[in-house]
Homo-oligomer: A and B are copies of this chain.
Amino acid sequence: MIPSSDFNKLKAEIADQFPQLSKRLKQVAEFALSNPNDMALETIAIIARKAEVQPSTLIRFAKFFGYDGFTEMQRIFKGRLASQSDYKARIKAFAPEGENPTGLYDDFFEGSISSLEELRNQLDPETLNQAIEQLKNADTVYLAGYRRAFPVAAYFQYAFSHLDKKVVLLHGLGGMLEEQARVMSQSDVLLAISFREHSEEVISLVKSAGEKEVPVIAVTDSGLGPIASKASICLEVKDAKVQGFRSLSATMCLALILVVGLGKESLE
C-alpha cells in the first residue's frame, strides 16, 4: 500500500476509510482532521493525551494508512503547515492589500465579522443581564419569530430545551397561533425575535402579551417601531446585508450569549 504523500490526499484517504476504522482509530481520525496543527507540532505523547488515546494507537493509525511509523505520517502534517505558510507569505509579498485570490467571498466574511463587532460594541451588559434574569425567572418561555427570524426562534427552542427550560415555539401551525399564545401568563416571558418589516403575527402577539402583562423580551434590528416600544427589554442586533440578503451570524451569536447566560444563571 502506498501512503498518501500530501495532506489533501491523506485527508481524502482518511475520509474514505473512516467507516472501516475501529473506535479508537476513528477517534484519532477526527482529532487529526480537526487539529492538524497539533499533529504537526506536538510529540506523539502530547497528541495522544489531547486526543485521549494511547501513543501506540497513533502508531497503529499511521500504519493503517500505510506509513512506516508515526514520524513518517507526521511529515505530511508538517508539510501542510510549511506550504500553508509559504503560500501566505507569497500572497502577502505579491498582493499587498486584500487582493488575494481567495478573496471572492471576503464581502461575506467581512460583513459578518463587522456585524459581530458592532454587536460587541453596542451590546449593553446591563440590559443583557436583565434579559437573562427575566428568562431565568420565567416559568415558560414563549418564542415568536417569523420569516427571517424563525430560524432564531427555532434555535432558542433547541437550546433552551437542552437547558431543561420550559419553552413553547409559537409556530402557528394549523392556524392556531392565538390558541397557542392564549395560555401565556404573567409568570412567563414572550421572547419575540423580529426584523423589519415586522410580520403581522409578531406584532399582534407582542400587543396581546402587553395587554395580559406578560413580560416581553425583544430581539430586533431597530429600537424603534411596534416591537421595541412594547417590549420590556429590547436587545438590538443588526446583521450584515450582502446583495439583498441578510445573514443571521450576529443574531445567532447574541442568541448563544443569552443561552449560555441563562445556563450559567440556572446552575447557581
Contact = CB atoms under 8 A, between A and B. Distances in A.
Question: How many copies of this chain?
Answer: 2
Interface in A117-150: 117, 119-121, 123-125, 128, 147-148, 150
Contacts of A225: 18
B260 A242 contact: yes
- Which of the four size classes fits the interface of chain A? 35 or more
13 contacts: A15-B228, A41-B78, A84-B88, A102-B120, A108-B253, A109-B117, A109-B253, A116-B116, A151-B158, A245-B256, A245-B259, A245-B263, A252-B252
A245 B260 contact: yes
Given A41-B41, A249-B252, 8 more contacts: A18-B225, A34-B222, A100-B120, A101-B124, A102-B124, A112-B253, A150-B154, A245-B260
A113 interface: yes
Contacts of A248: 155, 248, 252
A264 B106 CA distance: 16
Contacts of A24: none
